[in-house]
């Protein structure tokens, strides 16, 4: 592939690394546009809206690119809401998900006029009613149902089982619609679900869609108008050679079949599927360390830069960038410099022989990479660049040490405890 040969989107990666330093997140603008276009085409004929899951990658340049392509946003915090608005995404095209929305976040979302709240508990519904009433507003809302479907994905990113914290049972949702007069400032006219992330099979999606469609038909028969059905996201991507992931056409067909006859708005919330394969983490080899039984390839990237392998035991393809001809393959444990055994990207991974100073690329890093990064071990956040037609733009500057510690301050005054 082009990355292994040393270029991506017409940009020489060695020159890019020399200019911008490593570790470095690198994103392809054409790849993101291509994914949005494919999904839009697949959904043609439906009254559909794409609501990008900002948590996957909230970089402002990527959000602006998606806004230009007509995507809205699925957000789970006030900060993500501000990011989406700042990028030019219309408030009306934003849905607010999440189990723990604070009153401050709800107030802000109401004031800017977001399109819809995805409500996940009775307590949230009551809070939404109270805040909307106090401000003379009507909050548009969908109930997030938990269809109790096994998404067949990693346990930490499964969200549609009864034991998960997300959504409410269909039985509870039914009672909300029956009693919706109790919340006059909440227009409860939508359904929402999201069963998990990195779904490589559409079987659980079809099962969950069938349950939600049956509930929609039941509600309609009872006289409850449903204006919007949000089918969530979670569509998986290929992280390793040989892995198969559903395509947009298959996904859209599953939605069409389940929601046949529905004439309202259909919302989809892709995140990973739009950006994961459009990004990589470029890193330089610090050293090769022979161990008693293993050979360690130590990179300048670490778990604080890309957490997924440590957190989820996630696989990412790793390639040596350029000049592999004539180099024999060797097995490496690919690790970072952070003081944790968990700072491991791969074990026993076959790569062309590597030396200090070589470049490697960790592929499929466009989603849940930079957005989950931290400054653990006092390592400043890395830079991010966007590529297009043989050129690049820095879309996040490399954090300096001074910027990293800017909000810290010495003790200049002790504040006494308040009397009780």
Would you state the structure tokens that stand for residue 9, as one six-digit string?
Answer: 């989107």
For residue 123, list its beta bridge partners: none
**Hey, which residues are catalytic here?**
339
Tell me the average confidence (pLDDT) per consecutive run of 10 residues in the chain, 420 residues long: 90 98 98 97 95 97 98 98 98 96 98 96 96 97 82 44 67 94 96 82 86 93 95 86 85 93 95 96 97 94 97 94 86 97 96 96 97 98 98 98 97 86
pLDDT of residue 413: 92
Res 1: pLDDT: 60
Give the pLDDT confidence score for residue 155 in this predicted structure. 47
Any idea which residue has 């004539």 for tokens?
A: 326
- pLDDT computed for residue 225 by the predictor: 93
Span(s) in the chain for CATH 3.20.20.10: 29-274
CATH of domain 29-274: 3.20.20.10
User: For residue 242, what pLDDT is reported?
Assistant: 79
The CATH superfamily assigned to 2-26+277-399 is Lyase, Ornithine Decarboxylase; Chain A, domain 1 (2.40.37.10)
C-beta separation of 13 from 323 below 8 A: no
- What pairs with residue 51 in β-bridges? 72
pLDDT of residue 194: 83
């Amino acid at each position: 592939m082009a990355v292994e040969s040393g270029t991506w989107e017409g940009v020489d990666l060695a020159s890019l690394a020399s200019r911008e330093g490593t570790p470095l997140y690198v994103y392809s603008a054409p790849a993101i546009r291509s994914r949005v276009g494919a999904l839009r085409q697949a959904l043609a004929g439906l009254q559909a809206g794409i609501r990008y899951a900002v948590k996957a990658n909230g970089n402002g340049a990527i959000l602006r690119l998606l806004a230009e392509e007509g995507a809205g946003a699925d957000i789970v915090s006030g900060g993500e809401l501000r990011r989406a608005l700042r990028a030019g995404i219309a408030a009306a095209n934003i849905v607010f998900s999440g189990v723990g929305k604070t009153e401050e976040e709800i107030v802000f979302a109401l004031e800017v006029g977001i399109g819809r709240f995805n409500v996940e508990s009775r307590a949230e519904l009551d809070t939404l009613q109270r805040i909307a009433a106090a401000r003379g507003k009507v909050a548009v809302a969908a109930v997030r149902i938990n269809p109790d479907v096994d998404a067949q994905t990693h346990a930490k990113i499964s969200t549609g089982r009864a034991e998960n914290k997300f959504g409410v049972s269909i039985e509870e949702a039914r009672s909300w619609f029956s009693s919706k007069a109790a919340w006059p400032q909440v227009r409860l006219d939508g359904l929402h679900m999201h069963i998990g992330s990195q779904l490589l099979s559409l079987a659980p999606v079809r099962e969950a869609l069938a349950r939600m469609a049956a509930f929609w038909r039941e509600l309609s028969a009872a006289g409850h108008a449903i204006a919007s059905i949000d089918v969530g996201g979670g569509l998986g991507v290929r992280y390793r050679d040989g892995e198969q992931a559903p395509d947009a056409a298959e996904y859209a067909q599953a939605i069409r079949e389940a929601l046949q006859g529905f004439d309202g708005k259909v919302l989809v919330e892709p995140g990973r599927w739009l950006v994961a394969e459009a990004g990589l983490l470029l890193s330089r080899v610090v050293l090769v360390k022979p161990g008693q039984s293993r050979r360690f390839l130590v990179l300048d990237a670490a778990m604080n830069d890309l957490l997924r392998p440590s957190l989820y035991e996630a696989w990412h393809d790793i390639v040596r960038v350029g000049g592999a001809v004539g180099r024999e393959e060797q097995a490496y444990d690919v690790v970072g410099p952070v003081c944790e055994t968990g700072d491991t990207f791969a074990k026993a991974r076959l790569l062309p022989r590597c030396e200090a100073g070589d470049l490697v690329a960790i592929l499929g890093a466009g989603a849940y990479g930079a957005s989950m990064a931290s400054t653990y071990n006092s390592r400043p956040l890395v830079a991010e660049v966007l590529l297009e037609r043989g050129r690049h733009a820095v879309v996040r500057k490399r954090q300096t040490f001074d910027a990293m510690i800017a909000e810290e301050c010495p003790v200049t005054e002790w504040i006494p405890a308040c009397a009780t």
